[in-house]
């Protein structure tokens, strides 16, 4: 994982317990999971819209927002980007179709 993403993850973890009046991350965490999920959904939708428009700068901007809010969610759930990377590594070399078919309900 890039050093910047590790630093960002650490900053998010640090700010999660800060004063909600002075930290956006703390404010989201104080509002709880539903607020975090709502914001993540909004950012995902904005990323899709940017991609559909063909505006590459907007895709980058919205993707940054999406990744940030995903990191907030992961932190809130006691997970990290390393957990996600480990899952991607587990899937490496496996057909997406085969991987999906191997999932259990």
Q: Closest by alpha carbon to 16, among 39, 40, 32, 37?
A: 32
Is 1 a residue whose pLDDT tops 70?
A: no
Q: What is the distance between the alpha carbons of residues 9 and 68, in angstroms, rounded to a whole number? A: 9
Q: Would you state the pLDDT for residue 105?
A: 56
Domain regions of the chain by residue span: 3-102
Across the range 95-105, mean pLDDT stands at: 74
Token pair listed for 95: 């057909």
Q: Would you state the pLDDT for residue 18?
A: 96
The residue count of the chain comes to 105
pLDDT tens digit string along 38-87? Answer: 999 999 999 999 999 999 999 999 999 999 999 999 999 999 999 999 99
Q: What is the distance between the alpha carbons of residues 8 and 68, in angstroms, rounded to a whole number? A: 8
Superfamily for 3-102?
Answer: MazG-like (1.10.287.1080)
Whole-model pTM: value is 0.87
């Amino acid at each position: 994982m890039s050093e910047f993403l590790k630093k960002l993850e650490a900053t998010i973890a640090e700010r999660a317990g800060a004063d909600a009046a002075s930290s956006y991350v703390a404010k989201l965490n104080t509002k709880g999971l539903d607020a975090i999920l709502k914001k993540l959904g909004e950012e995902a939708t904005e990323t899709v819209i940017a991609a559909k428009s063909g505006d590459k700068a907007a895709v980058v901007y919205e993707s940054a927002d999406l990744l940030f809010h995903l990191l907030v969610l992961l932190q809130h759930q006691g997970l990290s980007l390393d957990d996600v990377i480990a899952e991607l590594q587990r899937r490496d070399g496996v057909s997406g179709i085969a991987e999906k078919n191997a999932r259990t309900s």
